């Protein structure tokens, strides 16, 4: 299986040495990895950069529940060992999304079309099991930040982290990317679209401020003056 549908330059650096591997084996046997061990789910979907819908990325989410209303996901460019960690996504219920400040809501995207359109799926999971959870995902909102721009072939995570968005209607997903993923995982987006026709999105409808409120979003950076720590009031003298 190809690790990614993107043509990415190899990560620079020397091959992992035997000593490093032995050390990792030892620390792996001693230490605990409770946060990572909570991951229970692999979702495959597509993201596009908030300022450029033509820049689309195959995104493999490895997710854990914090509770019934919040999930957190590590995003890789592929499902195999050696895949690049390219971003993170937080997924919340509609109830929690509606409590967010209005200036925060545009940073979040909906999942209704991704799910009902068949393009968000769980690789290897039988459809009847997959659809039971996706009925819930269709009603949620997600906030995604990517650090590694694999779509342009970057060998390392260069540039500023960027807000990502999700597909919201037909005709947005690049056909070449869709066909690559369908072939790689042996799935049919059209068939799943038909199987999920009964599903519904957020109970209150898609919030008008979600999905960047229909506009483009791009992360930028600016210089600011650092406050002088010596001028801060002291609690103790």
Summarised one tens digit per residue, pLDDT across range 86-131 is: 999 999 999 999 999 999 999 999 999 999 999 999 999 999 999 9
CB 55 within 8 A of CB 49: yes
Sorting pLDDT into bands at 50, 70 and 90, what band is 6? confident
Q: Quote the tokens at residue 153.
A: 């072939």
What pLDDT shows up at residue 67?
Answer: 97
pTM confidence score:
0.91
Closest-CA residue to 165 (of 95, 220, 96, 110) = 110
Distance CA 104, CA 88 (A): 17
% of the chain exceeding 70 in pLDDT: 96
Sorting pLDDT into bands at 50, 70 and 90, what band is 16? confident
What pLDDT shows up at residue 11?
Answer: 87
What pLDDT shows up at residue 20?
Answer: 86
CB 106 within 8 A of CB 213: yes
CB 233 within 8 A of CB 227: no
Distance CA 59, CA 3 (A): 11
28 pLDDT exceeds 90?
A: no
Sorting pLDDT into bands at 50, 70 and 90, what band is 1? very low
What pLDDT shows up at residue 237?
Answer: 52
What pLDDT shows up at residue 24?
Answer: 86
The mean pLDDT of the chain is: 93
66 pLDDT exceeds 80?
A: yes
Q: Average of pLDDT values for 33-46? A: 95
């Amino acid at each position: 299986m190809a690790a990614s549908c993107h043509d990415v330059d190899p990560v620079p650096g020397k091959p992992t040495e035997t000593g490093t591997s032995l050390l990792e084996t030892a620390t792996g046997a001693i230490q605990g990895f409770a946060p990572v061990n909570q991951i229970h789910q692999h979702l495959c979907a597509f993201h596009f950069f908030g300022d450029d819908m033509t820049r689309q990325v195959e995104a493999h989410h490895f997710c854990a529940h914090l509770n019934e209303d919040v999930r957190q996901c590590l995003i890789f460019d592929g499902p195999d060992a050696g895949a690049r960690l390219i971003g993170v996504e937080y997924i919340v219920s509609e109830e929690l999304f509606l409590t967010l400040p209005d200036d925060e809501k545009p940073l979040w995207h909906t999942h209704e079309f991704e799910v009902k359109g068949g393009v968000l799926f769980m690789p290897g999971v039988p459809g009847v099991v997959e659809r039971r959870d996706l009925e819930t995902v269709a009603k949620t909102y997600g906030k995604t930040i990517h650090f590694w721009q694999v779509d342009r072939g970057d060998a390392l995570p260069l540039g500023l982290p960027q807000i990502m968005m999700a597909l919201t209607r037909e005709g947005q997903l690049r056909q070449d990317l869709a066909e690559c993923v369908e072939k790689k995982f042996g799935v049919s987006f059209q068939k799943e679209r038909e199987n999920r026709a009964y599903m519904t999105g957020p109970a209150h409808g898609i919030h008008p401020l979600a999905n960047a409120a229909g506009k483009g979003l791009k992360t930028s950076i600016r210089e600011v003056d650092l406050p002088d720590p010596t001028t801060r009031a002291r609690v103790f003298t």
